[in-house]
Structure 1
Amino acid sequence: MALRVLVGVKRVIDYAVKIRVRPDKMGVVTEGVKHSMNPFDEIAMEEAVRLKEKKLASEVIAVSVGPQQSQETIRTALAMGADRGIHVEIPAGKDYEALGPLQVSKIMAKLAESEKADLILLGKQAIDGDYNQTGQMTAAHLDWPQGTFASEVNVEDKTLVVTEIDGGLETIKITLPAVVTADLRLNEPRYATLPNIMKAKKKKIAKMTAADLQVDIASNLETLKVEDPPVREAGQKVESVEELVGKLKESGCL
Protein backbone atom coordinates (compact mmCIF):
# COMPACT_ATOMS: atom_id res chain seq x y z
CA MET A 1 0.00 0.00 0.00
CA ALA A 2 1.58 3.28 -1.18
CA LEU A 3 0.59 6.09 1.14
CA ARG A 4 -0.30 9.67 0.35
CA VAL A 5 1.37 11.61 3.15
CA LEU A 6 0.49 15.12 4.33
CA VAL A 7 3.21 16.85 6.37
CA GLY A 8 2.74 20.06 8.36
CA VAL A 9 5.71 22.45 8.22
CA LYS A 10 5.51 25.59 10.37
CA ARG A 11 7.58 28.74 9.98
CA VAL A 12 8.95 29.74 13.39
CA ILE A 13 11.63 32.00 14.79
CA ASP A 14 14.92 30.14 14.41
CA TYR A 15 15.90 28.16 17.50
CA ALA A 16 19.24 29.98 17.76
CA VAL A 17 17.65 33.45 17.96
CA LYS A 18 17.27 35.15 21.36
CA ILE A 19 13.57 35.93 21.77
CA ARG A 20 12.66 39.53 22.65
CA VAL A 21 9.29 40.70 23.98
CA ARG A 22 7.67 43.56 22.08
CA PRO A 23 7.49 46.94 23.85
CA ASP A 24 3.67 46.69 23.98
CA LYS A 25 4.01 43.30 25.73
CA MET A 26 1.46 41.73 23.38
CA GLY A 27 3.84 39.34 21.64
CA VAL A 28 7.46 38.82 20.63
CA VAL A 29 9.56 40.68 18.07
CA THR A 30 9.37 38.94 14.67
CA GLU A 31 10.37 41.68 12.21
CA GLY A 32 13.95 41.40 11.00
CA VAL A 33 14.35 38.12 12.88
CA LYS A 34 15.61 34.92 11.25
CA HIS A 35 12.92 32.27 10.76
CA SER A 36 13.21 28.61 9.80
CA MET A 37 11.20 25.40 9.72
CA ASN A 38 10.10 24.13 13.12
CA PRO A 39 12.73 21.47 14.08
CA PHE A 40 10.10 18.85 14.97
CA ASP A 41 8.47 19.40 11.56
CA GLU A 42 11.84 18.81 9.88
CA ILE A 43 11.85 15.39 11.54
CA ALA A 44 8.30 14.70 10.34
CA MET A 45 9.27 15.67 6.79
CA GLU A 46 12.37 13.48 6.91
CA GLU A 47 10.26 10.51 7.98
CA ALA A 48 7.82 11.09 5.11
CA VAL A 49 10.66 11.27 2.58
CA ARG A 50 12.15 8.05 3.95
CA LEU A 51 8.78 6.33 3.52
CA LYS A 52 8.79 7.41 -0.11
CA GLU A 53 12.35 6.19 -0.61
CA LYS A 54 11.24 2.80 0.73
CA LYS A 55 8.36 2.81 -1.83
CA LEU A 56 5.88 2.92 1.06
CA ALA A 57 4.62 6.40 0.12
CA SER A 58 3.47 7.50 -3.31
CA GLU A 59 3.37 11.23 -2.66
CA VAL A 60 4.57 13.63 0.04
CA ILE A 61 2.73 16.95 0.33
CA ALA A 62 4.11 19.78 2.49
CA VAL A 63 1.54 22.09 4.09
CA SER A 64 2.16 25.42 5.79
CA VAL A 65 -0.38 27.80 7.29
CA GLY A 66 0.68 31.41 7.64
CA PRO A 67 1.81 34.58 5.85
CA GLN A 68 3.41 34.80 2.42
CA GLN A 69 6.87 34.07 3.89
CA SER A 70 5.65 30.55 4.77
CA GLN A 71 6.34 29.64 1.15
CA GLU A 72 10.06 29.75 2.02
CA THR A 73 9.42 26.99 4.56
CA ILE A 74 7.54 24.96 1.97
CA ARG A 75 10.45 25.37 -0.48
CA THR A 76 12.76 23.95 2.18
CA ALA A 77 10.44 20.94 2.52
CA LEU A 78 10.40 20.53 -1.28
CA ALA A 79 14.21 20.59 -1.31
CA MET A 80 14.21 17.86 1.35
CA GLY A 81 12.13 15.65 -0.94
CA ALA A 82 8.45 16.64 -0.77
CA ASP A 83 6.66 16.37 -4.12
CA ARG A 84 4.50 19.49 -3.90
CA GLY A 85 3.31 22.08 -1.43
CA ILE A 86 0.12 23.69 -0.21
CA HIS A 87 0.19 27.17 1.30
CA VAL A 88 -2.89 28.20 3.25
CA GLU A 89 -2.29 31.91 3.49
CA ILE A 90 -3.16 33.77 6.69
CA PRO A 91 -1.80 37.33 6.24
CA ALA A 92 0.40 38.73 9.00
CA GLY A 93 -1.76 40.61 11.46
CA LYS A 94 -4.48 39.96 14.00
CA ASP A 95 -5.76 36.69 12.47
CA TYR A 96 -2.28 35.21 12.20
CA GLU A 97 -1.31 36.26 15.73
CA ALA A 98 -4.46 34.55 17.05
CA LEU A 99 -3.84 31.40 15.01
CA GLY A 100 -3.56 28.37 17.28
CA PRO A 101 -3.67 24.56 17.23
CA LEU A 102 -7.48 24.46 16.95
CA GLN A 103 -7.57 26.54 13.78
CA VAL A 104 -4.59 24.77 12.18
CA SER A 105 -6.00 21.33 13.02
CA LYS A 106 -9.27 22.22 11.27
CA ILE A 107 -7.31 23.22 8.18
CA MET A 108 -5.19 20.04 8.25
CA ALA A 109 -8.31 17.90 8.60
CA LYS A 110 -9.99 19.57 5.61
CA LEU A 111 -6.88 19.14 3.49
CA ALA A 112 -6.57 15.48 4.51
CA GLU A 113 -10.10 14.90 3.24
CA SER A 114 -9.67 16.82 -0.03
CA GLU A 115 -6.24 15.28 -0.74
CA LYS A 116 -7.42 11.78 0.27
CA ALA A 117 -4.41 11.47 2.58
CA ASP A 118 -3.56 8.16 4.25
CA LEU A 119 -1.16 9.59 6.81
CA ILE A 120 -0.60 12.98 8.43
CA LEU A 121 2.85 13.56 9.90
CA LEU A 122 3.41 16.54 12.20
CA GLY A 123 6.04 17.64 14.67
CA LYS A 124 4.94 16.83 18.21
CA GLN A 125 5.03 20.57 19.00
CA ALA A 126 6.23 23.89 17.61
CA ILE A 127 9.08 25.63 19.42
CA ASP A 128 7.23 28.96 19.54
CA GLY A 129 4.00 28.04 21.37
CA ASP A 130 5.06 24.56 22.62
CA TYR A 131 1.38 23.56 22.62
CA ASN A 132 1.66 19.88 21.59
CA GLN A 133 -2.00 19.94 20.53
CA THR A 134 -2.29 20.19 16.74
CA GLY A 135 -1.76 16.49 16.00
CA GLN A 136 -4.21 15.33 18.64
CA MET A 137 -6.87 17.84 17.56
CA THR A 138 -6.43 16.89 13.89
CA ALA A 139 -6.99 13.24 14.73
CA ALA A 140 -10.11 14.17 16.69
CA HIS A 141 -11.58 16.20 13.81
CA LEU A 142 -11.03 13.28 11.42
CA ASP A 143 -11.84 10.54 13.95
CA TRP A 144 -8.53 8.89 13.00
CA PRO A 145 -6.24 6.92 15.33
CA GLN A 146 -3.08 8.69 16.46
CA GLY A 147 0.46 7.93 17.51
CA THR A 148 2.19 10.75 19.41
CA PHE A 149 5.80 11.43 20.44
CA ALA A 150 6.85 8.82 17.87
CA SER A 151 10.44 7.59 18.13
CA GLU A 152 9.93 4.80 15.57
CA VAL A 153 7.35 4.23 12.81
CA ASN A 154 6.94 1.05 10.76
CA VAL A 155 4.35 0.37 8.06
CA GLU A 156 2.77 -3.08 8.04
CA ASP A 157 0.19 -3.40 5.25
CA LYS A 158 -2.72 -1.16 6.35
CA THR A 159 -1.40 -0.54 9.86
CA LEU A 160 1.35 1.44 11.54
CA VAL A 161 3.48 0.17 14.40
CA VAL A 162 4.48 3.27 16.37
CA THR A 163 6.83 3.42 19.33
CA GLU A 164 5.86 6.35 21.54
CA ILE A 165 8.24 7.90 24.03
CA ASP A 166 7.34 10.05 27.04
CA GLY A 167 9.08 8.97 30.21
CA GLY A 168 9.16 5.41 28.81
CA LEU A 169 8.51 3.42 25.64
CA GLU A 170 5.16 2.12 24.47
CA THR A 171 4.62 0.38 21.13
CA ILE A 172 1.14 0.56 19.62
CA LYS A 173 -0.45 -0.67 16.40
CA ILE A 174 -2.90 1.67 14.68
CA THR A 175 -4.90 1.34 11.49
CA LEU A 176 -4.56 3.72 8.55
CA PRO A 177 -5.50 6.46 7.89
CA ALA A 178 -3.82 7.94 10.95
CA VAL A 179 -2.05 10.94 12.47
CA VAL A 180 1.51 10.65 13.83
CA THR A 181 3.53 13.31 15.65
CA ALA A 182 7.32 13.14 15.58
CA ASP A 183 9.67 13.14 18.56
CA LEU A 184 13.33 14.22 18.34
CA ARG A 185 14.46 10.58 18.51
CA LEU A 186 12.60 9.54 15.35
CA ASN A 187 15.40 10.45 12.93
CA GLU A 188 18.01 13.01 11.97
CA PRO A 189 16.80 15.30 9.15
CA ARG A 190 18.93 15.57 6.03
CA TYR A 191 20.42 18.78 4.70
CA ALA A 192 18.96 19.90 1.40
CA THR A 193 21.59 19.62 -1.36
CA LEU A 194 22.12 22.39 -3.93
CA PRO A 195 20.70 20.30 -6.82
CA ASN A 196 17.57 19.55 -4.78
CA ILE A 197 17.23 23.22 -3.81
CA MET A 198 17.28 24.09 -7.52
CA LYS A 199 14.74 21.36 -8.32
CA ALA A 200 12.49 22.63 -5.52
CA LYS A 201 12.08 25.95 -7.34
CA LYS A 202 10.20 24.14 -10.11
CA LYS A 203 7.87 22.17 -7.86
CA LYS A 204 4.32 23.39 -7.47
CA ILE A 205 2.91 25.22 -4.46
CA ALA A 206 -0.87 25.58 -4.44
CA LYS A 207 -2.15 28.72 -2.73
CA MET A 208 -5.48 28.95 -0.94
CA THR A 209 -7.15 30.55 2.06
CA ALA A 210 -9.01 29.22 5.08
CA ALA A 211 -12.20 30.54 3.47
CA ASP A 212 -11.54 28.37 0.40
CA LEU A 213 -11.54 25.37 2.75
CA GLN A 214 -14.62 26.70 4.57
CA VAL A 215 -12.71 26.81 7.86
CA ASP A 216 -13.52 29.41 10.50
CA ILE A 217 -10.23 30.63 11.99
CA ALA A 218 -11.80 32.92 14.59
CA SER A 219 -10.20 32.47 18.01
CA ASN A 220 -11.83 32.71 21.44
CA LEU A 221 -8.47 33.20 23.13
CA GLU A 222 -7.16 36.64 24.03
CA THR A 223 -3.56 37.50 24.86
CA LEU A 224 -3.47 39.69 27.96
CA LYS A 225 0.27 40.17 28.35
CA VAL A 226 3.57 38.62 27.30
CA GLU A 227 6.51 38.95 29.69
CA ASP A 228 10.08 37.75 29.94
CA PRO A 229 10.58 34.95 32.50
CA PRO A 230 11.80 36.23 35.89
CA VAL A 231 15.54 36.46 36.32
CA ARG A 232 16.82 33.53 38.32
CA GLU A 233 18.26 34.52 41.68
CA ALA A 234 21.89 33.70 42.39
CA GLY A 235 22.55 30.58 44.44
CA GLN A 236 24.50 30.29 47.70
CA LYS A 237 27.61 28.29 48.44
CA VAL A 238 27.82 26.21 51.62
CA GLU A 239 30.83 24.63 53.24
CA SER A 240 29.28 21.39 54.48
CA VAL A 241 26.30 19.07 54.33
CA GLU A 242 25.30 20.21 57.82
CA GLU A 243 25.18 23.84 56.68
CA LEU A 244 23.17 22.83 53.60
CA VAL A 245 20.60 21.00 55.75
CA GLY A 246 20.40 24.01 58.04
CA LYS A 247 19.76 26.38 55.11
CA LEU A 248 17.06 24.06 53.74
CA LYS A 249 15.35 23.96 57.13
CA GLU A 250 15.47 27.75 57.43
CA SER A 251 13.83 28.12 53.99
CA GLY A 252 11.12 25.61 54.86
CA CYS A 253 12.25 23.07 52.25
CA LEU A 254 12.77 20.40 54.92
Structure 2
Amino acid sequence: MKILVPVKRVVDYNVKVRVKSDGSGVDIANVKMSMNPFDEIAVEEAVRLKEAGVATEVVAISCGVAQCQETLRTAMAIGADRGILVQTDEELQPLAVAKLLKAICDKESPELVVLGKQAIDDDANQTGQMLASLMNVAQATFASKVAIADGKATVTREIDGGLETLSMSLPAIVTTDLRLNEPRYATLPNIMKAKKKPLETVTPADLGVDVAPRLKTLKVEEPPKRSAGVKVADVAELVAKLKNEAKVI
Protein backbone atom coordinates (compact mmCIF):
# COMPACT_ATOMS: atom_id res chain seq x y z
CA MET A 1 0.00 0.00 0.00
CA LYS A 2 1.26 3.46 -0.94
CA ILE A 3 0.63 6.43 1.34
CA LEU A 4 0.88 10.01 0.09
CA VAL A 5 1.64 12.70 2.68
CA PRO A 6 1.35 16.38 1.68
CA VAL A 7 3.55 18.70 3.78
CA LYS A 8 3.58 22.50 3.90
CA ARG A 9 6.42 24.93 4.61
CA VAL A 10 5.22 27.53 7.13
CA VAL A 11 6.65 30.07 9.55
CA ASP A 12 7.96 28.16 12.58
CA TYR A 13 5.41 28.03 15.39
CA ASN A 14 7.90 29.54 17.83
CA VAL A 15 8.27 32.71 15.75
CA LYS A 16 6.16 35.76 16.52
CA VAL A 17 4.78 36.82 13.16
CA ARG A 18 4.72 40.46 12.12
CA VAL A 19 2.39 42.12 9.66
CA LYS A 20 3.94 44.07 6.79
CA SER A 21 3.71 47.84 7.09
CA ASP A 22 1.42 48.06 4.05
CA GLY A 23 -0.96 45.45 5.50
CA SER A 24 -0.58 43.18 2.47
CA GLY A 25 0.44 40.09 4.46
CA VAL A 26 2.83 38.59 6.98
CA ASP A 27 6.53 39.45 6.79
CA ILE A 28 8.50 36.21 6.23
CA ALA A 29 11.83 37.78 5.28
CA ASN A 30 14.68 36.23 7.30
CA VAL A 31 12.15 34.26 9.37
CA LYS A 32 12.70 30.65 10.40
CA MET A 33 10.51 28.29 8.39
CA SER A 34 9.63 24.69 9.22
CA MET A 35 7.15 21.93 8.46
CA ASN A 36 3.56 22.56 9.49
CA PRO A 37 3.13 20.77 12.88
CA PHE A 38 -0.04 18.95 11.80
CA ASP A 39 1.82 17.65 8.74
CA GLU A 40 4.61 16.34 10.99
CA ILE A 41 1.94 14.26 12.72
CA ALA A 42 0.74 13.02 9.32
CA VAL A 43 4.27 11.97 8.30
CA GLU A 44 4.78 10.21 11.63
CA GLU A 45 1.51 8.27 11.24
CA ALA A 46 2.38 7.22 7.70
CA VAL A 47 5.83 6.04 8.79
CA ARG A 48 4.31 4.10 11.71
CA LEU A 49 1.93 2.35 9.29
CA LYS A 50 4.92 1.42 7.14
CA GLU A 51 6.86 0.15 10.17
CA ALA A 52 3.83 -1.95 11.13
CA GLY A 53 3.91 -3.61 7.71
CA VAL A 54 0.65 -2.03 6.57
CA ALA A 55 2.23 0.29 4.00
CA THR A 56 5.05 -0.41 1.57
CA GLU A 57 5.92 3.16 0.52
CA VAL A 58 5.48 6.67 1.93
CA VAL A 59 5.68 9.54 -0.54
CA ALA A 60 5.93 13.14 0.72
CA ILE A 61 4.73 15.98 -1.50
CA SER A 62 5.00 19.73 -1.12
CA CYS A 63 3.71 22.59 -3.25
CA GLY A 64 5.43 25.97 -3.35
CA VAL A 65 8.81 27.64 -3.76
CA ALA A 66 12.14 25.86 -4.25
CA GLN A 67 12.91 26.09 -0.52
CA CYS A 68 10.13 23.55 0.09
CA GLN A 69 12.78 20.95 -0.75
CA GLU A 70 14.05 21.45 2.81
CA THR A 71 10.62 20.52 4.16
CA LEU A 72 10.56 17.41 1.99
CA ARG A 73 14.03 16.41 3.19
CA THR A 74 12.75 16.72 6.76
CA ALA A 75 9.86 14.40 5.91
CA MET A 76 12.28 11.93 4.37
CA ALA A 77 14.51 12.15 7.45
CA ILE A 78 11.49 11.15 9.56
CA GLY A 79 10.91 8.16 7.31
CA ALA A 80 9.31 9.03 3.97
CA ASP A 81 10.84 7.08 1.05
CA ARG A 82 10.86 9.84 -1.57
CA GLY A 83 9.59 13.32 -2.24
CA ILE A 84 7.77 15.25 -4.94
CA LEU A 85 7.94 19.04 -5.18
CA VAL A 86 5.39 20.95 -7.24
CA GLN A 87 7.48 24.08 -7.67
CA THR A 88 5.83 27.44 -8.24
CA ASP A 89 6.26 31.02 -7.06
CA GLU A 90 2.51 31.65 -7.29
CA GLU A 91 0.46 32.22 -4.14
CA LEU A 92 -1.20 28.85 -3.56
CA GLN A 93 -4.69 28.82 -2.07
CA PRO A 94 -6.38 25.65 -0.73
CA LEU A 95 -8.31 24.88 -3.93
CA ALA A 96 -5.17 25.17 -6.05
CA VAL A 97 -3.26 22.88 -3.68
CA ALA A 98 -6.12 20.35 -3.72
CA LYS A 99 -6.08 20.34 -7.54
CA LEU A 100 -2.30 19.82 -7.58
CA LEU A 101 -2.62 16.96 -5.09
CA LYS A 102 -5.42 15.44 -7.19
CA ALA A 103 -3.12 15.48 -10.23
CA ILE A 104 -0.33 13.81 -8.23
CA CYS A 105 -2.76 11.21 -6.86
CA ASP A 106 -3.93 10.40 -10.39
CA LYS A 107 -0.29 9.76 -11.26
CA GLU A 108 0.81 7.93 -8.09
CA SER A 109 -2.46 6.09 -7.25
CA PRO A 110 -2.01 6.02 -3.44
CA GLU A 111 -4.42 3.95 -1.35
CA LEU A 112 -4.29 6.51 1.48
CA VAL A 113 -3.59 10.24 1.67
CA VAL A 114 -2.72 11.52 5.16
CA LEU A 115 -2.35 15.25 5.73
CA GLY A 116 -2.59 17.76 8.55
CA LYS A 117 -6.08 19.03 9.31
CA GLN A 118 -4.90 22.62 8.76
CA ALA A 119 -1.82 24.78 8.30
CA ILE A 120 -0.84 27.16 11.08
CA ASP A 121 -0.31 30.07 8.69
CA ASP A 122 -3.81 30.43 7.22
CA ASP A 123 -5.76 27.97 9.43
CA ALA A 124 -7.95 27.29 6.39
CA ASN A 125 -8.77 23.63 7.18
CA GLN A 126 -9.97 23.11 3.59
CA THR A 127 -7.40 21.22 1.52
CA GLY A 128 -8.17 17.69 2.76
CA GLN A 129 -11.89 18.09 2.29
CA MET A 130 -11.48 19.63 -1.18
CA LEU A 131 -9.13 16.83 -2.22
CA ALA A 132 -11.62 14.17 -1.09
CA SER A 133 -14.34 15.87 -3.12
CA LEU A 134 -12.17 16.19 -6.24
CA MET A 135 -11.13 12.53 -5.99
CA ASN A 136 -14.65 11.39 -5.01
CA VAL A 137 -13.34 9.21 -2.18
CA ALA A 138 -14.19 8.81 1.50
CA GLN A 139 -12.68 11.17 4.06
CA ALA A 140 -12.18 11.28 7.83
CA THR A 141 -11.08 14.58 9.34
CA PHE A 142 -9.54 15.42 12.76
CA ALA A 143 -8.28 11.86 13.24
CA SER A 144 -7.03 10.85 16.70
CA LYS A 145 -6.57 7.15 15.84
CA VAL A 146 -6.06 5.33 12.53
CA ALA A 147 -6.15 1.58 11.87
CA ILE A 148 -5.86 -0.12 8.47
CA ALA A 149 -7.05 -3.70 7.89
CA ASP A 150 -8.74 -5.73 5.14
CA GLY A 151 -8.81 -2.87 2.67
CA LYS A 152 -10.57 -0.57 5.09
CA ALA A 153 -9.51 2.34 7.28
CA THR A 154 -11.03 2.65 10.75
CA VAL A 155 -10.62 6.20 12.00
CA THR A 156 -11.52 7.66 15.37
CA ARG A 157 -12.09 11.38 14.98
CA GLU A 158 -12.59 14.20 17.46
CA ILE A 159 -15.92 16.01 17.37
CA ASP A 160 -17.52 18.60 19.63
CA GLY A 161 -19.45 15.98 21.57
CA GLY A 162 -16.61 13.49 22.04
CA LEU A 163 -15.27 10.83 19.67
CA GLU A 164 -16.71 9.35 16.47
CA THR A 165 -15.44 6.18 14.78
CA LEU A 166 -15.74 5.77 11.02
CA SER A 167 -14.99 2.81 8.75
CA MET A 168 -14.04 3.63 5.15
CA SER A 169 -13.07 1.71 2.06
CA LEU A 170 -9.72 2.60 0.52
CA PRO A 171 -8.63 4.79 -1.20
CA ALA A 172 -9.41 7.47 1.38
CA ILE A 173 -8.33 10.83 2.75
CA VAL A 174 -7.43 11.30 6.44
CA THR A 175 -6.58 14.60 8.12
CA THR A 176 -4.70 14.47 11.41
CA ASP A 177 -5.40 16.10 14.77
CA LEU A 178 -2.95 16.82 17.57
CA ARG A 179 -3.69 13.73 19.65
CA LEU A 180 -3.01 11.20 16.89
CA ASN A 181 0.66 10.76 17.81
CA GLU A 182 3.88 12.42 18.98
CA PRO A 183 6.21 13.01 16.00
CA ARG A 184 9.73 11.64 16.39
CA TYR A 185 12.88 13.73 16.09
CA ALA A 186 14.89 13.14 12.94
CA THR A 187 18.23 11.59 13.89
CA LEU A 188 21.48 12.74 12.30
CA PRO A 189 22.03 9.45 10.40
CA ASN A 190 18.49 9.68 8.97
CA ILE A 191 19.05 13.33 8.03
CA MET A 192 22.15 12.29 6.09
CA LYS A 193 20.27 9.40 4.43
CA ALA A 194 17.45 11.77 3.45
CA LYS A 195 19.87 13.79 1.32
CA LYS A 196 20.30 10.77 -0.95
CA LYS A 197 16.63 9.86 -1.27
CA PRO A 198 14.98 10.71 -4.62
CA LEU A 199 13.22 14.06 -4.92
CA GLU A 200 11.26 14.77 -8.11
CA THR A 201 10.42 18.32 -9.16
CA VAL A 202 7.45 19.17 -11.38
CA THR A 203 5.50 22.34 -12.15
CA PRO A 204 1.75 23.05 -12.17
CA ALA A 205 2.00 23.33 -15.96
CA ASP A 206 3.42 19.80 -16.13
CA LEU A 207 0.35 18.62 -14.24
CA GLY A 208 -2.05 20.72 -16.30
CA VAL A 209 -3.35 22.62 -13.27
CA ASP A 210 -4.29 26.31 -13.15
CA VAL A 211 -3.18 27.69 -9.77
CA ALA A 212 -4.30 31.29 -10.29
CA PRO A 213 -5.69 32.73 -7.00
CA ARG A 214 -9.50 32.85 -6.74
CA LEU A 215 -9.49 34.96 -3.57
CA LYS A 216 -7.97 38.39 -2.99
CA THR A 217 -6.60 39.43 0.41
CA LEU A 218 -7.77 42.96 1.08
CA LYS A 219 -5.92 43.63 4.30
CA VAL A 220 -3.97 41.85 7.03
CA GLU A 221 -3.75 43.36 10.51
CA GLU A 222 -2.72 42.25 13.96
CA PRO A 223 -5.50 41.50 16.48
CA PRO A 224 -6.29 44.34 18.90
CA LYS A 225 -4.31 44.30 22.11
CA ARG A 226 -6.20 43.02 25.12
CA SER A 227 -7.12 45.75 27.59
CA ALA A 228 -6.13 45.48 31.24
CA GLY A 229 -8.58 43.98 33.72
CA VAL A 230 -10.19 45.86 36.59
CA LYS A 231 -11.05 44.86 40.14
CA VAL A 232 -14.56 45.24 41.47
CA ALA A 233 -15.68 45.60 45.08
CA ASP A 234 -18.71 43.31 44.97
CA VAL A 235 -21.08 41.35 42.75
CA ALA A 236 -23.37 44.34 42.27
CA GLU A 237 -20.55 46.39 40.74
CA LEU A 238 -19.55 43.42 38.55
CA VAL A 239 -23.09 43.07 37.20
CA ALA A 240 -23.29 46.82 36.60
CA LYS A 241 -20.07 46.83 34.59
CA LEU A 242 -21.11 43.80 32.56
CA LYS A 243 -24.41 45.48 31.79
CA ASN A 244 -23.38 49.09 31.22
CA GLU A 245 -19.77 48.90 30.01
CA ALA A 246 -19.26 45.48 28.45
CA LYS A 247 -22.94 45.31 27.41
CA VAL A 248 -22.97 41.52 27.55
CA ILE A 249 -26.04 41.18 29.76
Give the TM-score taking structure 2 as reference length. 0.97
Structure 1, unaligned stretches of length 5 or more? none
SS in structure 1 at match of 2:83: strand
CA distance in 2, matches of 1:248, 1:48: 50
CA distance in 2, matches of 1:84, 1:198: 14
For residues 86-112 of structure 1, give each alpha carbon's deviation from its aligned partner in whole angstroms, at most 9, with x where no partner exists. Answer: 000012xxx22xx11100000111111
User: 1:220 offset after TM fit, Å?
Assistant: 1.8
- 2:211 is matched with 217
For residues 68-97 of structure 1, give each alpha carbon's deviation from its aligned partner in whole angstroms, at most 9, with x where no partner exists. Answer: 100000000000000000000012xxx22x
- 2:159 is matched with 166
CA distance in 1, matches of 2:154, 2:44: 18
- 2:248 is matched with 253
1:16 aligns with one of 4, 9, 14: 14
Structure 2, unaligned stretches of length 5 or more? none
Listed as ranges, the matches of 1:67-86 within 5 Å are: 67-86=65-84
After superposition, the CA RMSD in angstroms is 0.9
- With 22-31 and 129-138 compared, the bigger mean Cα shift is at 22-31
- 1:46 is matched with 44
- 2:225 is matched with 231
- 2:235 is matched with 241
User: 1:234 offset after TM fit, Å?
Assistant: 1.7
- 1:124 is matched with 117
CA distance in 2, matches of 1:73, 1:169: 32
- With 144-153 and 244-253 compared, the bigger mean Cα shift is at 244-253
CA distance in 2, matches of 1:21, 1:14: 15
Q: Does 1:153 align with 2:153?
A: no
SS in structure 2 at match of 1:212: helix
- 2:127 is matched with 134
Amino acid at match of 2:103: K
- 1:66 is matched with 64
- With 185-194 and 158-167 compared, the bigger mean Cα shift is at 158-167
- Number of matched pairs: 247
Amino acid at match of 1:164: R
Amino acid at match of 2:37: P
User: 1:50 offset after TM fit, Å?
Assistant: 0.2
CA distance in 2, matches of 1:248, 1:31: 43
- 1:187 is matched with 181
User: 1:25 offset after TM fit, Å?
Assistant: 1.0
Amino acid at match of 1:248: L
SS in structure 2 at match of 1:211: helix
- With 157-166 and 120-129 compared, the bigger mean Cα shift is at 157-166
Give the TM-score taking structure 1 as reference length. 0.95
For residues 33-70 of structure 1, give each alpha carbon's deviation from its aligned partner in whole angstroms, at most 9, with x where no partner exists. Answer: 00000000000000000000001001000000010100
